[in-house]
Each structure stands twice: as structure tokens, then as C-alpha cells.
Structure 1
Amino acid sequence: MPVVTLEDIKSAKKTLDGVAKKTELDCSRTFSTMSGNQIYMKLENLQRTGSFKIRGAYNKIANLSDEQKEKGVVAASAGNHAQGVALGATKLGIDSTIVMPKGAPISKINATRSYGAEVILSGDTYDEAHEEEERYAEETGATIIPAFNDTDVIAGQGTIGLEIMEDLPDVDVVITPIGGGGLLSGVATAVKEINPEVEVIGVEAANAASMTASLKQGSLATLDNVDTIADGIAVKKVGDLTHKVVSNYVDHVVTVEEEEIAHAISLLMERAKLIVEGAGATTLAAVLNNKINMQGKKVAIVLSGGNIDLDMASTIIDRGMVKAGRRVTLLTSLQDVPGALSELLGVISQTGANVISVSHDRLCPEISLKQAQVQLTLETKDEEHINKIMTKLNDNNYKSKRIR
């Protein structure tokens, strides 16, 4: 027997009518040109609560018995699942409690509360929050809403697959991220039941590749550690249900590295004007880094969420600028006399670079007492521009080195 059927997913679609948005499937000329394929982005980062999770959470809660609804629901999560459960329960008039680790970002705590949930902060890790979730459920009778390993949750996530097939019936390849496997399982079931010829591919962060490990050994594998900027898919162990569906329906599972994910996030911001979290950007990262052997195909990639921490986004932008040659930090020295810094900046201005910051240090032990060390961060055009700046400085007797 299948874990979920196409009819289950169609039923979930009716349940979600008026709750989850039918998100746009947007063709990207930029990413199509870069990859040699026709790339269509399924914009679940613009879904209610900022991710696809509302689909599965609401479908699960809506299918509870009256007795279960009366006792409320509980979930352990520090991210998208928390907000999906909170909103889903509130829409149905059901009490919800979300257990979050004590160190959860205040923005996510506040967002979850704003959707109507009571938030309990417990433990320092997700596993400790999960223990409190189970204790709370046993004490109160509340129903635990799983993040991925549940038939109603999988069916809800599968509505994304239905929408893709409705909007692009001649699609060749569908790619989704993998965390616990609920999203991939639902999408794969919908797509393959409608058209078995469509290739379905899942993408994991290399530093959290629990599905890859499970498929390799033919049974559920538990990772010792997960460490990735794609926190939405940082799962040590996938579910037995999702493992079964992926084994039956999914053609390939590939992994992407941290720098590849970060670069995809920055490209989505700069070229598509989209805010996408690490988990959601894995699909584009896989396409642009040739993890999948395809050319000239119609490819739908699921951008699963947009709830990225602002500090992380800022760091990714800064690192992306450096990698693209758009920003550089140089170290040089000059005579510690009046006007020396002004002369240095005059040389910089001749190169057309924009000065972002200047640090002037007279106390550095690595230079003579009559000198000062200067660190410059400059906005530049590209690597060629940086090389011209270095040459200009050297021609004017400023010994300089690039430190970033």
C-alpha cells in the first residue's frame, strides 16, 4: 500500500482552499541562461508564514477528530513548522502550544506568538524541546503535530506537486529540498502519479545528508551531527514513511555544499529580487553547480521558504560581494605624518574605487615607529578592478596586501 495516494493529495488541496496560497511558478530568464535549462521557480518563500509548512500542518490539524481538536495541538520547532502549526490551529479555532529551544531567535518566537500559539521555551537543543513536547502531550492530551513523518502532513505538502503539474504539465524535472523528507515525499507522489516520466530529484545539504545516508544503507540512518546554514533541513534522521516514499518515487538525491547554498541565496537576492532561506536555495544551488546532468529541460525548482535570519543574510551578502570581487579589504602602511592618509586616499580615488571604511593604526608592532598601518575596505567592480588598484598602490610606493 502507498503511504499517501494522489486522491489523498487532491483531498488535501480542497482542505487547503482559502488557507494556503497557490504560489506562482515563475520562469527565470537569468537562471535559465546560467544553467542551459528552462528554470521555473515555485515561490513557496512567498507562502503564508513564509514557507510551505502551512500546507502539511493545516491538513493534519483539519483531519483530527473532534475530541483531539478539543484538547489542542503541540509541536516542537524553532522555525517554519512552528509558524505553520500556529497559524493552522488558529484558523481552525484550536489551541496550539509550540515548544522552542531557549536560544531560538526572538523574531521566530514573536512570529509564532503572533499566529496565536502559546510558546514554551524549554531546553537548549531541538531534542530537548522535543522531550518537553512529548511530556506536554502526555500531561494534557494535546496531539503532537509531526514536522514530516505523517501521512496527512505529506499529503498537504504534496499539493505543491499538484500545482506544478497544473501550471507546467510538460515539465521534465521537479526538484525539492530534503530535510525530514515530507516535502519531497508529497511532491514526488503527486508528480509521479500524474506523470511517471517526470524526473523527481531531492537536494540535501552535504552537512546534513540523512536521506542520502539512509538510501545508501537501505534503512534509516542517524547522523552524529548536522551543521548547515540551511537550518530548515538540518535533520539528523528522516522518517520511516518519508524514506519509503523517496525510495519508491524519487529518481536521484544530490547534495550541495555550504558555499554553494550561500551563493544561491545571494544570487536569488541580486538577480531575482527574492529572499530565500538556506533550505529553499538548495534547489537552485544544485542546478547552478551541475549536480544534476541535464540540458535543455523544463525544470521546476521549489524555493521552500524565505524565513532567513537577517544576521545570516547580511553575512552571506558580505561574503558574496567579496567572492564576486565587488568588495575588497587591503592592508598597507604609510609615513605617520600629517597629510599622509589624505595622499593615500587620493591615490585610491584615482582608481574609481569607493571607500567603505578606513582603520588607521599607529600602534601595530609589525611596522616602524614612524609609520602607521592602514586597513581599507573598498567597493570595487570586479577582480580586474582590484588588480588595477593593487598595481596603482604599488606604483605609488604603497606596499599593500589583500586580506579579504
Structure 2
Amino acid sequence: MSEPLAITVDDVRDAARVIHGQVLRTPCAPSKVLSKLTGAEVWLKFENFQFTASFKERGAVNKLTRLTEAERAAGVAAMSAGNHAQAVAYHASRLGIRSVIVMPVNTPYTKVRNTRELGGEVILHGDTLGDAFDYMQRELIEGRGMTLVHPYDDPFVMAGQGTIALEMLEDVPELDTLVIPIGGGGLFSGNAVAAKALRPDIRMVGVESAGYCSAYAAIQGDAALVRGGPTIAEGIAVKGIGRGTLPVIAALADDLVRVDEPAIERAVGLLANVEKVVAEGAGATGLAALLADPAKYAGRKVGLIICGGNIDPRLLASVLLRQLVHESRLVNLSIEIEDSPGFLARVAGCVGAAGGNIVQVHHERLSAGRHAKSATLEMLIEAQDESHTNQILAALTATGFVARRVQGGYGEFE
């Protein structure tokens, strides 16, 4: 007989009662455009609308509300470099509980500042989350008797996150598939327990970043599958799955999928451009899974959780510009011209007449062309799509210019 799971649907229902009025009941809305793109009927649960822009508030509130008077007096400790830190800091402060958050020394300053502004005391220690956790355990939990608020491996935290599924299935009972990101596993576990209890036939799909597929690796028994590396889905870049969450995932996940960086970037871009909603990389991985394999979800009624919106503005700008390049809406051109007055104006006029917009120009004389009177224009233009780009190139060629498209990223010329 298998061991009982860490939580039951009754724990999730109890969590819903406890957190009611303390966190936002976020909307769950259909997306016509994403449905058309994927072939599924797509519903989005906007957890990025929470005050700290993340679902983490649900689990944090459920845990904090359960503390005894002695535990409240001693305060709480957490280890996090992002959303969990802000959720614990905000709600602990709101409830009159001291919170100390340990973060790695390389945590972006904006996250450190936000956590402090929300009421948390921040200690920077170690190069990794593992280093931060060890310090927290030794100095704060064992040394000061503070209570740990774990980001995912805690029954109260798991149950709190599971309230999302209760709301989704109450608002949209016809959903037959939930696609949920997996980092440490708290979000997936809580929602899988709730959803399967209400709808045993519902399909639960867990999504991991390809470099941090901790749940898949644990189930396969091959730790080498977790290769790490840079990812824009840092919110789920967890190298070790939770001890309490893994059995739930193993028992209730109908499918575990891994998504790569281009799919995540595209999902972030689509949510910004189609839904006008900011999602961090982890928050967009559910949509990334649909985009990567739409046939798997065709005809199904799919619920996606936009679990967070805390993305660095510069990273978001980079992602959006990269998407414009991918869609041939920002294009690099190299155009050979005669180094004489008026030629730049002729090229600009030709591009403009073809409907293109010149964003950036570099006039290269010293290392360009076949002779001393030649030059090269390295030009970044804005076009409507691939077909329009080809029309602009054709117009330049017809005017007598030697023009070619240069492969490379935004602002890069080979």
C-alpha cells in the first residue's frame, strides 16, 4: 500500500477558508487569440495580479496564519531570491510577524530592495540558494528558533497554492486539462491534489525548464538530466525537487514536459503582445508547452496559470525585441552604396517608399566595398513580416543597390 500524500483536498479547502480576504481571487479568463494559435480552448488564471505579482502569497499566508503565538513571537525565516521572499515579507509584516529572508549575494538589487520595502529583513549570504538555505537553517532556524516558511516543501504552503485550482474549476468547471509550471513542485502538487479530487478525469501536465527538469529527473532516477544553465524562467530553475512534492507529482501528473528557452521567450512575448499582460519566464512556461506541441492539446479545454509577473524590465525589453527579430519585424540589412552625396537619401527614400521604417543606420567607409569610393550602410529596419522584408529587399535591388539581409540579433551585424 502506497504512503499517503502530503496533503488532501480537505487541506486545500481549509486553506481556501484561511486565505479568503487576505489574497486576491484572481480572474480566470479565456483567450481567443491564444486559442486560435494553439487549437485548444485556452483559459488564463492571472496570478500575476496578486499584490506581489505572484501566486506565492497563497502558500505564505496559509503557513503564516497557522503559527502559534510562540512561533509568531520568534519570527519566521525564509530562503528565496524572488517571489517567495516578497510574499513572506509582505504578509508577515501585515500580520505583525518579524521575517528574515536569506538571499544569495548575487541576487539582483531590485529584488533585495523590494523585499526590504515590503517589511522583510534581508541577509545576503552565499553564492547559491543552497548556501543561503544552509546558513538560514544553521543561524536562524536552529540558532534563533525562528520558524521556516519553505518556498514549496511544506504541506501548508502546498495546500495554499492548491486553492488556485479550486477557483479555476469553480469559475470554469468544463476545463479538462491544467498545465502547470514545476520548480520545487509546490504549485503543481497543491493544484493536482485539488483538481484530481474534484475531477478525477482531469489531465494534469507539469512543465519544467529543459535545463532544470528536477521532477522528471527524479522520477527517471537520472540526476544528470538536470544540466542547469542560464534561463529566463529562473522562478522554476530548481535543481532539487521537494521531498513532499515529488510523491504527489509521481502519483498525479499525467504528463511531464520540458520546454526550451525559445519557446519560453515566445510565450512571454505573446502574453505581452496578445493579452497585454506582463509574465515572467516561469509564468509563461504553461503557454510555452502548448506552443511547443499544439497537437497534444488540440480540442481540449486548457487552463494555464500565469503564476508570476516579476520580470526585470531590461530582460522583458530584450525578449520583446528578440521576438520582433524572430518574426522578421526587425531586420538587419547591409547595402552597398557609392560614397557620394545623396546616396543615403536615395536608400532611405527607397526603404520608405516600400513601407519600411529605418530604426538605426551605421555608415561604414573604412573597411567596406570594392574600392575607396564605396561604402556600406548597415541598417536596422522595421517591417511588417517576412513577406514585407522581401518586398523591401526587392525594391532596393530594383533601384540598383546590392542589398542583403544580415543574420544576427538586434543591433548585430556579421
Q: Assess same fold via TM > 0.5.
A: yes
1 CA distance for matches of 2:400 and 2:136?
65
Offset at residue 124 of structure 1 (A) = 2.8
Matched, 1:305 2:314: no
Return closer, same or farther for 1:221/1:9 CA change in 2, 3 Å cut-off.
Answer: farther
Residue of structure 2 equivalent to 1:37: 40
Q: Select which of 56, 63, 69 maps to 1:60.
A: 63
Matched, 1:201 2:205: yes
SS of residue matched to 1:153: helix
Residue of structure 2 equivalent to 1:74: 77
2 CA distance for matches of 1:334 and 1:365?
10
Moved more, 366-375 or 44-53: 366-375
Matched, 1:322 2:325: yes
Residue of structure 2 equivalent to 1:242: 245
1 CA distance for matches of 2:128 and 2:207?
25
Matched, 1:102 2:105: yes
Residue of structure 2 equivalent to 1:157: 161
Deviating above 6 A after TM superposition, structure 1's stretches of 4 or more consecutive aligned residues are 219-222
1 CA distance for matches of 2:62 and 2:373?
72
**Aligned positions of 1:139-150 closer than 5 A:** 139-150=143-154
2 CA distance for matches of 1:99 and 1:82?
9
SS of residue matched to 1:94: coil
2 CA distance for matches of 1:356 and 1:226?
33
Return closer, same or farther for 1:203/1:291 CA change in 2, 3 Å cut-off.
Answer: farther
Query: Retained in 2: the 8 A contact 1:322–1:328?
Result: yes
Return closer, same or farther for 1:156/1:358 CA change in 2, 3 Å cut-off.
Answer: same
Provide the TM-score with structure 2 as the length reference: 0.93
Question: Amino acid of the residue matched to residue 196 of structure 1?
Answer: P
Residue of structure 2 equivalent to 1:176: 180
Matched, 1:355 2:358: yes
Question: Amino acid of the residue matched to residue 188 of structure 1?
Answer: A
Matched, 1:341 2:326: no
Offset at residue 365 of structure 1 (A) = 5.7
Offset at residue 20 of structure 1 (A) = 1.1
Moved more, 60-69 or 89-98: 60-69
Return closer, same or farther for 1:381/1:2 CA change in 2, 3 Å cut-off.
Answer: same
Q: Select which of 236, 240, 243 maps to 1:233.
A: 236
Question: Amino acid of the residue matched to residue 185 of structure 1?
Answer: S
Return closer, same or farther for 1:263/1:82 CA change in 2, 3 Å cut-off.
Answer: same
1 CA distance for matches of 2:80 and 2:93?
17
2 CA distance for matches of 1:350 and 1:295?
42
Offset at residue 53 of structure 1 (A) = 0.3
Query: Retained in 2: the 8 A contact 1:208–1:227?
Result: no
Return closer, same or farther for 1:156/1:197 CA change in 2, 3 Å cut-off.
Answer: same
1 CA distance for matches of 2:227 and 2:75?
33
Question: Amino acid of the residue matched to residue 266 of structure 1?
Answer: G
Moved more, 127-136 or 374-383: 127-136
Query: Retained in 1: the 8 A contact 2:79–2:129?
Result: yes
Unaligned runs of 5+ in 2: 409-414
1 CA distance for matches of 2:341 and 2:159?
72
Offset at residue 319 of structure 1 (A) = 0.8
Query: Retained in 2: the 8 A contact 1:220–1:237?
Result: no
1 CA distance for matches of 2:269 and 2:85?
26
SS of residue matched to 1:123: coil
Residue of structure 2 equivalent to 1:118: 121
Return closer, same or farther for 1:160/1:351 CA change in 2, 3 Å cut-off.
Answer: same
Return closer, same or farther for 1:80/1:322 CA change in 2, 3 Å cut-off.
Answer: same
2 CA distance for matches of 1:226 and 1:3?
31
SS of residue matched to 1:2: coil
Identical aligned residues as a percent: 39
Return closer, same or farther for 1:243/1:291 CA change in 2, 3 Å cut-off.
Answer: farther
Q: Aligned-residue CA RMSD in angstroms?
A: 1.7
Offset at residue 204 of structure 1 (A) = 0.8
**Aligned positions of 1:252-401 closer than 5 A:** 252-290=255-293, 293-364=296-367, 368-401=371-404
How many residues are paired up? 403
Residue of structure 2 equivalent to 1:20: 23
Q: Select which of 183, 191, 214 maps to 1:187.
A: 191
Provide the TM-score with structure 1 as the length reference: 0.95
SS of residue matched to 2:175: coil
Residue of structure 2 equivalent to 1:215: 219
2 CA distance for matches of 1:16 and 1:232?
23
Return closer, same or farther for 1:366/1:68 CA change in 2, 3 Å cut-off.
Answer: farther
Unaligned runs of 5+ in 1: none
Moved more, 109-118 or 154-163: 109-118
2 CA distance for matches of 1:260 and 1:222?
19
Return closer, same or farther for 1:221/1:352 CA change in 2, 3 Å cut-off.
Answer: closer
Question: Amino acid of the residue matched to residue 272 of structure 2?
Answer: M
Q: Select which of 9, 13, 35 maps to 1:10.
A: 13
Query: Retained in 2: the 8 A contact 1:12–1:59?
Result: yes
Measured against aligned partners, the alpha-carbon deviations of 1:139-182 in whole angstroms (never above 9, x if no partner) come to: 32222211111111101101111111211222211111000100
